[in-house]
Amino acid sequence: MTEKFMSSDGCDITYTLHAGAGSQAPRVALVHSLALDRSIWDGVVQELARDCQVLTWDCRGHGRSGQPVMNYTPQLFACDLAELMDHVQWPSAVVGGCSMGGMVAQAFAIDYPQRTTGLVLIDTTAWYGADAPKVWRERGATGLEKGMAALVEFQTGRWFGDAFRANQKATVDQLVKVFLDNNVDCYVKTCEMLGDGDLRAGLASIKAPTAVVVGEEDYATPVAMAEALHKGISGSTLTVIPGGRHITPTEKPQDIAARIREVIARAK
């Protein structure tokens, strides 16, 4: 069931709550990657929904949510998730995020530890590096000056391996459509957020059971970044998915669902 609610600062947030498993089932909230939307989780939801409640949503500036052009931070997006959980009456959840969503999930676990029963960090990082502010602003500028279409070939090669792009063309085309439909000004602001984001100082405070997952071929947030997250979060596990690239929730949904289930089991 897809619905909307309004955040405390007046931004419409579109979400889908898959609650067919019943109110006593484990709760899982999932946060998508840059310039895409909650549909990246469709395959994972299909795996989990028979015995979990699953909440997916479009972050502000993305998909069918509101498009305010403002300064974005991982903490702001995490606050949106906390308010969304209030709206659906979830006191806590296992929180998973891919790429940008992984930074949001980290911020959520740091800012709302009592509401985080588990954490799944997928194809993501706490910090993109010293040159990130410049690199991410250049990417945003490309979208602004040349249009989002100028970035499609670059993005799809990072998102998925060659075989997936060849064999799952309809899925790739659908995500390209989502990408092209972005509000470019919001895209620029989100790129700035990722360039400036640095969550390293908060990692040691994360006590929830945590799985760090990365595609073997991910060159957007490579294995070394996942290893740094794993090292920074005490008790976390690290899984490298063979043949996976950057959007493994879409490319390898069964693998991602399995890691989420492992965290659910550890959270009990």
Q: What is the number of structural domains in the chain?
A: 1
- Provide the pLDDT for residue 34: 98
pLDDT greater than 80 at residue 63: yes
Q: Give the pair of three-digit tokens for residue 228.
A: 């740094």
Q: What is the domain range of residue 120?
A: 2-127+199-267
CA–CA separation, 141 vs 146, rounded Å?
Answer: 8
Instruction: Answer yes or no: is 53 within a domain.
Output: yes
CA–CA separation, 198 vs 126, rounded Å?
Answer: 6
User: pLDDT tier at 268 (50, 70, 90 boundaries)?
Assistant: confident
Mean pLDDT, range 103-120, rounded to an integer: 98
Mean pLDDT, range 240-255, rounded to an integer: 98
Strand order in the sheet with 210-215: 2-6, 12-18, 53-57, 27-31, 93-98, 116-122, 210-215, 237-241
Instruction: Answer yes or no: is 187 within a domain.
Output: no
- Provide the pLDDT for residue 204: 98
User: pLDDT tier at 1 (50, 70, 90 boundaries)?
Assistant: confident
Instruction: Answer yes or no: is 150 within a domain.
Output: no
- Provide the pLDDT for residue 18: 96
- Provide the pLDDT for residue 182: 98
Q: What is the CATH number of the domain that holds 87?
A: 3.40.50.1820
